[in-house]
Structures are given as structure tokens and as C-alpha cells.
Amino acid sequence: MGDRSLTFIANRPRESKPSAEVFNLSGYIQTLGKVDDDIIRQKIDDLLRLTRSTLVDDMKMSPEDQPNFKYHPGTKLLIVIGKPEAIQLARKIINALPGQEKQSFREMQDVLDATSPPEQK
């Protein structure tokens, strides 16, 4: 009898690398009216908690994979750094806020192109 061998190939999902996305929250903040910075910070903290709890409780993302958020009050920019699925959820939540501009189809396509894994050849 000749040599026989079996080969098993494990198809592992690619580890998604962290990326960053920046959101302008000025439209949302304007809908809050004349409020002080503490109220704005509280509203943003509520958004962050909602995003994180949805990722852990509903999407079963491990706590160590939680995204990082940075808010700059002077520019009203929120920076989200994390895995693509975390950024995608944050984008959906932020874009659903009152006062936020809806992204055009072209802008959404640019985002998808930037976050899509390279095609295998």
C-alpha cells in the first residue's frame, strides 16, 4: 500500500483590525437647545453606554473588544476607534439621532469601500 495522508484546512475568519471614524455631532447638539457642557457630556455618555451595551449584550462582542470613544467639545467631533462591527453600530446610532444629516449614497459607498476587506485573488 502506498502512503496515505489526509489534509485538513481550517478556514479561520480574518481578524478585523481596528479603524477609526469621525462623526460631527453639531446637528444633534443643536437639537438639545441651550444647554451647558455637562448636559452635552451626559447625552454623549448615554450614547456611548447604549453602543457598548448593545455590542456586549445583544451582539455578543467581548468586553475587551469594545470601541474607544473620544469627544472634542470645541469641534463637536466624536471619534470612534474599534472593530468594523462596532463602528458600524455607532454609525447607525449616531445617524439616527435627531438633527444629524443623513449620509448620501456615495458617502456610504466610500465608507463601505474603506472598511471592506481586500478581495482574495
Q: What's the average model confidence in pLDDT over 87-105?
A: 83
> What Å distances lie between residue 92 and 1, 35, 43, 60, 67, CA to CA?
61, 25, 16, 18, 15
Q: What's the average model confidence in pLDDT over 84-110?
A: 79
Whether the CB-CB separation of 25 and 46 falls below 8 Å is answered with no
Instruction: Provide the percentage of residues in the chain whose pLDDT is more than 90.
Output: 53
Q: What's the average model confidence in pLDDT over 102-121?
A: 57
